[in-house]
Amino acid sequence: MEQFKQLGGQFLSSPTEIQKKLSDIRCILFDWDGVFNAGIKRHGGTGSPFSEPDSMGVNMLRFSHWLAHKELPFTGVITGANNLSAIGFAEREHLDVVLLNNKDKAATIARLALENNFALEEILFVFDDILDLKAAGLCGLSVCVRRAASPLLREFIVNRGGCDYITGMEGGAHAVREVAELLIGLRGNFEETVSQRMEYGAVYLEYLGLRQAIVTKVGGQ
């Protein structure tokens, strides 16, 4: 995992520990602002875009999980805003759910786990800021997206063991892609995942058919 250390990534849990936790994950949840983008909004709530490299990363992370377990991970976005970009991304990528206007993400995640029969230890959460920390503490595996302007928050998280990994890249600089490649690499099927996607043959098309059949649930508007 030297490549990720060279990016500036920080392992608060060892790669071996993350690998072990990852083997239990059945649900992948992302915060939106500050994770898929730099968190900048224009007046009226517009903005908050996403990038195609991050989109590919999310898809490959789901495909990697499917290759390993022969089931799709439950995947969603939880955001504190009423975010049209998040809805558009979730629907385009056929995520299971996008939950908006969440002021208490810990409560939302606990409820989502109960409703979908997940243990909290089976949830991966990717986040970036203070209001996400309680939720991150509930989940079996959590990743914080770095922000250079928040050195004291990063120190707070490190001192408290508040996540398993802090990205080298920031939101808006393809941090989601970094998370995806890290976890696929730790799962041990990066080459298979990329090769099967590149081939675009029967294996990937079987996964894609299952993914495309998902109808995204939009909640909390």
Give pLDDT tens digits for 27-49: 999 999 999 999 886 555 556 78
Query: How much is the average pLDDT of 80-109?
Result: 94
2-219 carries CATH number 3.40.50.1000: yes
Assigned token pair, 206 = 């079987």
CA angle 30/34/38 to nearest 5° reads 140
| Whole-angstrom distance, CA of residue 143 vs CA of residue 162 | 9
φ, ψ at 217 (rounded to 5°) = -90, 125
| Whole-angstrom distance, CA of residue 67 vs CA of residue 58 | 14
CA angle 11/108/216 to nearest 5° reads 95
What does the domain layout of the chain look like in residue ranges? 2-219
Q: What's residue 45's pLDDT?
A: 55
pLDDT of 49-87, one tens digit each? 899 999 999 999 999 999 999 999 999 999 988 889 999
- Close Cβ partners of 181 (under 8 Å, ≥ 6 residues apart): 57, 190
- Close Cβ partners of 113 (under 8 Å, ≥ 6 residues apart): 27, 119, 120, 122, 123
The structure's pTM equals 0.96
